[in-house]
Structure formats: C-alpha cells, structure tokens
Chain A
Amino acid sequence: MTLTHADTGAAGAGGDGPYEHGLTEDLARAALALARRFHAGGTMWCASPSWTFHAHHVAVEFVHPVIMGKRALPAVVVPPGADLVASLRATVRPGDMVVVVAGTAPSDPGGADVAEVMRRGPAWGVETVWIGAGTRPPAGAADHVLWLGTDDPLVASEQFVRIYHLLWELTHVCFEHSGLLQPDLCEEEVCITCSDEGRTAEVVAVDEGGDAVVRTAEGRERIDVSLIDPPRPGDLVLVHAGSAIASLEEGRS
C-alpha cells in the first residue's frame, strides 16, 4: 500500500526526503477525526504565525469548497498578529478543532506559541492538528502531527498546500461514511472518581480560600488547589477527585 519515494516521484533521495514515512496514514486518521468533529458541530480554527496565507488557505478550502455539492464547513482564521494562546482561549469551545501550520521553535519563532496551544488542547477539549516541517515537535505534542522532513522553507511551504488540500479531500470522503462519524461505541465510562484518574485543566481564576475555577474538556468547575503552589490564571494543572494534585507548569521554561 505504501509507495516508496521512487514510486511517488517525490523530491529527495533515500529515506530522508521531504515526503515522510507514514504521512498519508496520519492524514487519513486526522481527516476522520476532523470529520467526526465537524459532524458533531465543531468549528475549525486555523492559524499560522509565520505563514498567515496558509491559515487563510486552509480556512477558505473548508468554508468555500471548490467542488460542487460539498458542504461548507465552519473554519475560521485566528487573526494574524494576535496572541495565539489568548485568542484561541477566548474563542474555542469543547468539540472544536485547531489546525496550525508552523515549524518548531527556535527555527520558527511562532513555534513556541503553537506548542502552548497544543498543550492546552485537552483542557480546552479541542482536537489539535500540527502541520509543519524541520525539527519534529516532541512525541505527543498534538493529537495529529503531520510532519515533513525537509529543512527548506519553500519546499515545506509548497508541500503544506498538498497536506491541507488532502486533509480537506479526505475529510469530505469521511462524510460519505456516516456510520463512522458516530462517537466511539466502546467509549465506556472510565473510573473518573477513585483510582488514578487525572484530567488536564486550565486555571481560569484563583480564589483566596485555596479554590480555583478551572476549565476542562467537560466545562468549568471549581476545584481545590491548596495541594500545589498557588497557580496563576492560565496554568495547567492535573485534577484528581476535586483537587489539583500537580502543576503541569513546573520545570517548563
């Protein structure tokens, strides 16, 4: 099923060309995830700190399909120049998607903000897709990491267009499989109460009495934060049985 570089005629020699091992499998998986989120009413937020035009291109593909008969889907560009984290925090809702085209810091100066957004995905309840090239982000940086091996910014930029075009095309193929757009059948209740559960939450506000209002994928809730150093609004914490048991900010520079 997987073609080699020679078969696809992709640029680059040997195994380290710009066309990465497994990229199309990742694209397929990301497309199905996006289709499920759109189907459930989610909005796609598009951003690209260093290539604003890519963010606009992604959004226009989904909103105004080039192929007749395809659905217009809600996709929005995060205003360029805005504080990416603050802007998304204010607007995303659980069930949404965030698609970003960016490299990693320091080669892409916007990469640090992007990593911050992706890290917050679980607390915001959003599905994250990180399209990029060059040095790969750490494993698990986003729900979907669609990565190119090339260090050439122009080659990367051209191939980003392919990636998001394919993402759009595959997403629409998924809409033709309505049975696969339903929530997972085997999604059975996890023991949320007692054992080793820990949910990622973002602190919204801290009370004087050692309580905080936090945001999780399930909504807002009030938790106890007296077991950890006083958090600041925007910090990520791990919540277990109504208490923050760990800060996810320590050791981060």
Chain B
Amino acid sequence: MRFVDEYRDPAAARRAVEEIGIVSGGEHRKFMEVCGGHTHTIYKHGIENVLPENVELVHGPGCPVCVIPMGRVDDAINLAEQPGVIFTSFGDMMRVPGSTSNLLEAKARGADVRMVYSPLDALRIAQANPDRQVVFFAIGFETTAPSTAITLLKAKEAGVTNFSVFCNHVTIVPPIKAILESPDLRLDGFIGPGHVSTVIGNRPYRFLPAQYGKPLVTAGFEPLDILQAILMLVRQLRDGRCEVENQYTRAVRDEGNVRALQILGQVFELRPHFEWRGLGFISHSGLKLSEAFADWDAELRFQVPGVRVADPKACQCGEVLKGVIKPWECKVFGTACTPETPIGTCMVSSEGACAAYYNYGRFTREAAASARIPVRSA
C-alpha cells in the first residue's frame, strides 16, 4: 500500500490533494489519462485513493502494446519464423497473444527472437550479422517513432541492407478524437501524455478545447505531476476556462522537438487507416515507412500474411481502452484473463490498465472500500 507520503515531495503532494478538493468543490469530475505511463503511475501509487471521491480517473488507449491488433502480432510471428531472420522486439511485446501463439512461444519453437532496449541495438545486431536478415518490430507512439527514424537514417547512411523495420507506430491524437466521438462516454478533460508531448508539443491538442470544449493538461510521470495536472484541470473548470495547459514544463516545449518532428516527416508517412485493438480502424492513425525508406520496410521485403483477426469475444479491451468500463468490470478480468495467461492485451503490458489494476488494484480497492485513506494523519 502506498500513501501520498511516499511521493516525491510529499508535502507538496498533500497540498495539491487538499487544493483539488477545495477547487473542485464536490462537483463530480471525470478525467481521462491518455497515456499508459500515467495509468501505471496512478495504480502503482494509489492516486485514485488519495483523490477526493468526486474526482474520477478513467484510463485511455495510451499503451502501445495494448492497442496492437492480433493480426499484427500474427504477422510478427510469421516474420520471426521465416528462415534466416533475427527478429528483434521490445520486451513487452514478447507475451502479447496473437491468434494462436506469441513471440516467446515462437522463440521456444526455434525462431531467433531477441529482446532489445532500443532500435539502435537491433541495427547493431544487423551490422554484427551481415549474413542474416534482422527485422525490428517497431511499435509505440510519437515518443518512440523518432528512435526508429534515427535508426533508419543511420542504416541508410551506413548502407546496412540486411536490416528492416516492421512498422506499427501509431499516433495519439486520432484515438482521442475517436473516443470523443463515442456516445457512451462523458469526460470533463484530459491528462495529456508527457513524453509524447516532448516530441509533438502542445499544439496538436488545440482541437480539444476548440472543437470539443474539453481542456487538456500535459503532465509528467511523478505522482506529484499527475496531482498537479488534475489541480490545473479542476481550476480551469472552476474558472470557466477551457485550454491546453502544460504541467510538464521541465521537459515539454509548446512547439515540441522540432528536430525529431522533421526526422519523422522524412522517414514516415501516414497510413490511410490503421487498426486499433478494441477501437477498430481509425483513419490516419498509423505510420509506415516513406518512399525513400521503402528498401528497409519489412512489409515490402517479406511476404506478410496481413490477415485481420477479430478480437476475442469474451475480451472487453475496447471498452476498457475507451474508458467505458473499469478493468475489473470486464467479464474475464482476473478469472480467464490474468497477467500470466492474458486474453486481452490490456493484461499484458505493465502499463496496460488491466495488468496495472491486477497488480496494484486489488489492494487499493479493498482499502478504498473499507475506508477513505486519510491524506495525512490528522
């Protein structure tokens, strides 16, 4: 169990919680944190338990592992099992279920699947194994896409031809728009993703206040950052303002990382549409390699089945991702679907709402049910 006392600068956290209570004035407020990193922090530090009861958090689609559709995982496994291929992936993708298997099982069957921390590591593997084909399983939002882009620039510059990228990069703004279009959800505002925003800046969120009348505050990843962002949101609502604000000023500039954005523009282009687990096809939400980098595109270099697989019926990841239901309200949560044997992707990644809730939530829910946890012993 964690208390506000365990946050960085607990005194400041206590002040923020008290002020959220005063400023929100008992009014029911429902905010969505878009980013999986935030979801993780919220569960790990029990933020929901220190907030006043009238402030509710719902968890958004911002875990890149959780939103990858099953068909793309099947494609990845297919690539990994092609002869002569070294398939490289971030660790979190290893257990994500495809329709019949996952990458870890493919590795056990003999495929050369290797975990990397950076796409640059994958490129180094390619340089060290010139007689093998090295494929990097690129996933992630605008935070991660620049690292993939830099890697591709370096591969091109160094003339590394045995390296390619299976690109599944997605962008964060289209699903936010899709969620706002969904009729079954009422939200008062958004906690904007911090590290995505270091790249894209705060400007792309302007449509939220302008078109949907919803405020957004970009936040860092300390529990204190999230509390401050919530405070900024309730202040906006109290003052009748509706703006894009930046809590994470130590890292996020309004204009973003201009250099990274230029490189993204050079290496990638938008796909007409891309499938999101649970959310279906969302237009202009995915990236593929641009014409200039077609030679490094794994989807062009190899035969990829590209079969669309329907989400498992029992799994309600889509509703969880849209914030329509809480993780524990899913029919299979904690029974058929656990982190050891996940059905839905939300249970796989540690940033997935279901896994985060499963790991930390049982505690906090019991405690929250028995008594509201006092912010300080008074």
Contacts and interface: CB of A to CB of B under 8 A. Distances in A.
Interface of A: 1-2, 20, 22-23, 25-26, 28-29, 139-145, 147, 186, 188-198, 224, 226-229, 238, 240-243, 245-246, 248, 250-251
B92 A195 contact: yes
A205 to B, nearest CB: 18
A171 B91 CA distance: 38
A189 B339 CA distance: 13
B16 A139 contact: yes
Nearest to B227: A139
Nearest to B153: A226
**Most chain A beta-carbon neighbours within 10 Å: one of B11, B117, B140:** B11
Interface of B: 5-6, 8-12, 14-16, 35-38, 40, 44, 62-65, 90-93, 115-121, 139-141, 143-144, 146-147, 150, 193-196, 198-199, 221-222, 224-225, 228, 249-253, 257, 259-260, 263, 349-351, 359-360, 376-378
B377 A2 contact: yes
10 contacts: A20-B11, A29-B5, A139-B12, A147-B11, A191-B91, A194-B139, A196-B143, A224-B150, A227-B147, A250-B253
A196 B37 contact: yes
Question: Which label, helix, strand, loop or mixed, suits the secondary structure of the A interface?
Answer: loop
A130 B121 CA distance: 39
Given A228-B260, A238-B251, A242-B120, 15 more contacts: A25-B11, A29-B10, A139-B224, A139-B228, A145-B9, A194-B64, A194-B65, A196-B62, A198-B194, A226-B150, A227-B146, A227-B150, A227-B263, A240-B143, A248-B250
B167 to A, nearest CB: 14
B9 A141 contact: yes
B35 A242 contact: no
Contacts of A241: 90, 117-119, 140, 143-144, 147
B40 A242 contact: no
B9 A238 contact: no
A245 B195 contact: yes
A229 to B, nearest CB: 7
Given A25-B376, A198-B194, A193 B5 contact: no
B350 A143 contact: no
A141 B359 CA distance: 29
Contacts of A240: 143-144, 147, 195
**Most chain A beta-carbon neighbours within 10 Å: one of B90, B93, B251:** B251
A228 B256 CA distance: 11
A243 B257 contact: no
Contacts of B252: 246
A159 to B, nearest CB: 16
B152 to A, nearest CB: 12
**Most chain B beta-carbon neighbours within 10 Å: one of A22, A144, A194, A245:** A194
Nearest to B40: A190
B267 to A, nearest CB: 12
Given A25-B10, A197-B195, A246 B257 contact: yes
B65 A195 contact: yes
Given A189-B350, A198-B194, A22 B14 contact: yes
B141 A196 contact: yes
A85 to B, nearest CB: 17
A195 B36 contact: yes
Nearest to B93: A194
B150 A195 contact: no
Given A246-B198, A246-B251, A251-B253, A196 B147 contact: no
Nearest to B251: A246
